[in-house]
Amino acid sequence: MSPLRLGAVGYLNARPLVYGLEGHSRFDVRYDVPSRCAELLHGHEIDLGLIPSIEYLRGPRAYGIVPFLAIASDGPVASVALYTRREPKDIRSIAMDTSSRTSVALTLILAAREWGLRPSVVDMRPELEAMLGAADAALIIGDNALFLDHRAADVQKIDLGELWTTSTGLPFVYAFWAGWPHAVTPTDVRTLIQARDEGLAHVDDIARQSFESDPRRQEIAGRYLRDNIKYDFFENGLREFYSRAAELQLIQPFEGELRVYHVD
């Protein structure tokens, strides 16, 4: 059997999902930002990708989903945030991190629901001061957001995971494994679930290995992986996100069944 081309995300929060897979003969693992993972999957350049959740509905709708696994939050997420020096109701433009797809949609949904805003959007690299020079607020995700000292930068940090859960009472799903039909076997699903379980049992090791020379970041990383990121697939939160995204015409309405890979 040929190796499964696996497109993973290079952020800290994805590392528990690929724990031990790099040396596995079945998986050929590459790392990219979330938006690039989606592009690679849509272009048949990988078989299975950790894609932004909104991209599941922007592809051919033939993708299978690996069950039980996701990158999610149920309350503060710490690594998906809006930064601004204005009151939220006064925001008219947002610089959006080009690494993101789902978080862009989440930002637009919450801006409309919470503050009655339809801001203009500027796509930019995740550099806070440049972003705030071009727009009233900045969306930054991943490790860049996790380790950004917003107090030192004299900006307000609005945690979008926390705001979503406060608004809806539901968890939020940022990304999950999706792939082409018949690419993933039941054995592959079991291996991916086992990788997640092993990763969660070794979050402190992951934090130390990720930031070997920086004890402060190790501490932040370990706490983040234990307390902020959830690795379960919350279909209720995902469907609410799809419903709200459709209301803003960010995607077509979705009411069907999610295609899930089988596991024995």
Query: Residue 60 pLDDT more than 80?
Result: no
State the total domains in the chain: 2
Cα separation of 159 and 69, whole Å? 23
Average pLDDT over residues 143-154: 97
Tell me: do 84 and 68 sit in the same domain.
no
Say which DSSP state 230 is in: B
Task: Give the pLDDT score at 144.
Answer: 96
Say which DSSP state 133 is in: H
Write out pLDDT tens, residues 227-255: 999 999 999 999 999 999 999 999 999 98
Task: Give the pLDDT score at 256.
Answer: 84
Task: Please indicate, yes or no, if residue 256 is contained in any of the structural domains.
Answer: no
Q: Which helix (H) or strand (E) holds 81?
A: strand 80-84
Tell me: do 125 and 179 sit in the same domain.
no
Which residues share a beta bridge with 6?
A: 29, 48
pLDDT band at 70 (very low <50, low <70, confident <90, very high): very high
Which residues form the domain of 214?
A: 4-72+171-247
User: What average pLDDT does the chain have?
Assistant: 95
Write out pLDDT tens, residues 205-234: 999 999 999 999 999 999 999 999 999 999
Yes or no: say if 110 and 160 are a contact pair by the CB < 8 Å rule.
yes
Domain with residue 201: its CATH number is 3.40.190.10
Report the predicted TM-score, pTM, of the whole model to 2 decimal places: 0.95
Task: Please indicate, yes or no, if residue 129 is contained in any of the structural domains.
Answer: yes
Cα separation of 103 and 139, whole Å? 8
Cα separation of 132 and 208, whole Å? 32
Counting every residue written for the chain, the total comes to: 264
Question: Which residues, in sequence order, are CB contacts of 118 under 8 Å at separation 6+?
Answer: 111, 112
Task: Give the pLDDT score at 23.
Answer: 84
Task: Please indicate, yes or no, if residue 100 is contained in any of the structural domains.
Answer: yes
Task: Please indicate, yes or no, if residue 239 is contained in any of the structural domains.
Answer: yes
Write out pLDDT tens, residues 17-29: 999 998 899 999 9
Question: Which residues, in sequence order, are CB contacts of 251 under 8 Å at separation 6+?
Answer: 54, 57, 58, 105, 242, 245
Average pLDDT over residues 196-200: 97
- SS3 state of residue 108: helix
Helices 102-115 & 235-247, crossing angle to 10 degrees?
Answer: 70
Cα separation of 102 and 174, whole Å? 6
Cα separation of 133 and 179, whole Å? 39
Query: Residue 1 pLDDT more than 80?
Result: no
Tell me: do 85 and 162 sit in the same domain.
yes
Tell me: do 157 and 177 sit in the same domain.
no
Write out pLDDT tens, residues 80-90: 999 999 999 99
Query: Residue 262 pLDDT more than 90?
Result: no
Task: Give the pLDDT score at 58.
Answer: 84
Yes or no: say if 223 and 200 are a contact pair by the CB < 8 Å rule.
no
Tell me: do 85 and 68 sit in the same domain.
no
Task: Give the pLDDT score at 59.
Answer: 77
Among 153, 168, 183, the domain boundary falls at 168
